[in-house]
Chains A and B, each alone.
Chain A
Amino acid sequence: MELKIGSIPSFISPAYEKRTFDSLTLLVPKLTSEELKQVISHLRQQHRKLQARKTDEIINIIDQAIKLWLDPNYHYRKLAEELLPIVTGYDSEMIRVFLHSYLRSFRKEKLQRMLEVDFTNPQVLDEFRPRTSGGLTRAYGPDLITHVFSGNVPALPLWSLVSGLLVKSSTIGKLSSSEPLFPSLFVETLREIDQELAECIAIIWWKGGEEELEKVAFTSSESIIAYGSEGTINSIRKKAPSHVRLHAHGHKLSAGFIAKDCLQRVLVTETARKAAKDASQFDQQACLSPHVFFVEEEGSVSVREFASLLAQEMNNYQVKMPRARLTEQENQAIIQARSKYQFQAFQTKEITIFESEKSTSWTVVYDQKATRFPISPLNRFVYVIPVQSIDDVPPFLHQVRGFIQTFGVACTPHTFRSILEVLGGCGVNRITFLGRMGEPEPGWHHDGRPHLADLVRWVDVEASVEMDMDAYDPHRV
């Protein structure tokens, strides 16, 4: 099957490049720098129209699009469910379940909440509004944002795409080579609803590092939102002119903490199931996937027993939603990591390794000796480290300061506050309950920063204008 994707103004007919995923070939638009310049000038024109629209209108359009996507019979949703498993290798059921719950976080109320979280009065995006301290103020989004999308979790680019639209920015979306499908389909949905809004978005592709196109895109944008590795981010940072703001989301680490009260006899398997979900969802490819669970000792089961229960739940998840097929390198990384711990386990009782038989599908390493934050080779490979209390966790986190993002926590009402205090102080910027690590709530501070407020620039009109202009009013009395 062959499918043309991307989204570009109709007056351009660019070359298309083939990206092949098993039986599927996706044709992505690959522009010349001249064509890209034309696209940019088109986007700038469109931006003026966008700027004149009200934020509420934009919310309503996105909401309509989400409503369509939440209907399992919607043609693009069906297409996405059919093709995303081929493109990403992820289990189709996992994608289906995820898409549905994920898309719900872009409904009208959620979008409104995103705005409310960042702006005391969201109307500042539409017009100059009075400030309590006097004068007026208005927030302007960038005229043009270049998004460098990531492909590790399907549909993830929706976050930044929607953010850009909410602050009324035109969009250049640079597709990821590993998942170029979803953003393209979503923009087509917007086009079905509101042609004019869709005209503010161009979805294209180039090979990361391509000098010419990156230069054109980066220098023409007011902001860049980029997801990727250290290397990717650094290379963008070097190319972007200093006045262009780069919102970089580099690779991050996440982990979990499980308090002993959550190992109670009747609840412990539920706890293990939640942990297994977090460690299995999207094969641990997301920055919010846990590498390790710190588990409190002296619960009703030992931490080692918990690791065994977790192993069983990892297996259950695997039976239900099998992991993607890996490259030799990825498999090799798992095998080397396993053998490292296995040979240690042969010599000490402080380490136990649980692993899927005759495959690399899942691995749980119980490591009582660990003194460093263990970094997983990913693809459903998770560590369990016993601790006496939450106070044992910070030394692990200090080693990875600046990289730590989400913590999935299982706790009781009695302990939750002390846990939050400790984690918050260690640089963690998102805390969820266990089992919900993979589903950030609308309005979350991605990597600790405001989502929308970070994008805008403010124009303040000081009170003196209001006051002093009256002196020049021809109708003064």
Chain B
Amino acid sequence: MRLRKLLHITFIIIVCFSCESETVNTYKNTPSPLEIPKLFQENILAPIVPIDNPQTEEGIALGKKLFFDPILSSNNTQACADCHAPENAFTDSDRFSDGVEGFFGNRNSMPLFNLAWNYDEKFFWDGNTFSLEHQAFIPVTDPIEMNSTWQNIEQKLKQHTDYPELFEKAFGTKTIDSSLVTKAIAQFERTLISANSKFDKHLLGEIELTPQELNGFNVFMDEARGDCFHCHGSDKNPLWTDNLFHNNGLDETFTDLGLGAVTGDPADNGKFKSPSLRNLAFTAPYMHDGRFTSLEDVINHYSEGLKNSSTIDPLMKKVSQGGVGLSENDKADLKAFLLSLSDNEFISNPEFKKE
């Protein structure tokens, strides 16, 4: 009887003690939904934001800090931004980027903008990775890129003076892991929205294009001349890409199989993602392997440089003649139009630059 009474008292003390020491989880982040540009709102489907990684001010801020911090590389010398520079619309002006050990890849760094509108969520030139969160995993441990290990990164972030608190603010935990790192980076990357080019402003009625730019747009939309719109958007699709994979006649044989290496289907050999034509003024060199240094090279390729192969896209015209053979005037006008898709406000946006 005395024992039962003692246990009862002890239980009450424990309960009271527990009540005294119990802390209320005060984690609360601030929703920060994407600001969808008017032309996007009016013309295309809503962006993809995973239900388990909603946009928050704290998550975006953390992702931005991580994006510009070389702490993610093995020897603390390379950040995401080193190969995805804001002034280059988040790509690399070098044909191939060098990693922390001085190794070079064989593809040009992809520019980063409007990534939330990649509806199929297939990332990289060959679409080998599904979702933006998973994309962020890859370069960190790639031996020819940042060559790090997640164990190492987690250790460094936990010991950092700022990061534990920033993770707690963003995700309500000081337990830092790779999943939260990539979620934060993906949140920041989704904010990289480009929709203020000269052509956007023209569509919004704010500015007039030059006659040369207007004719260039006509070349772009004319199936008998440029026929660019089937793969690269239009005034109705302001992404300026279909985000799909095509063989655009670069080679007769392939040293890089592209999508074919991912799917294992020979019919996909030599296919690479259509890049957006936004921000071409800042994203040279061009193509998946950065083989073209100028827009003139790109236009000449489609005009008279096409090479036939078994998987060349049927949308490529007059392949046996090398292409549609644009006039010099049409080439110049097409270039002028393409440059009107560049967004100076995007590359100078302080929200997207290192603080």
A-B interaction: no
Which B residues lie at the A interface, using CB under 8 A?
none
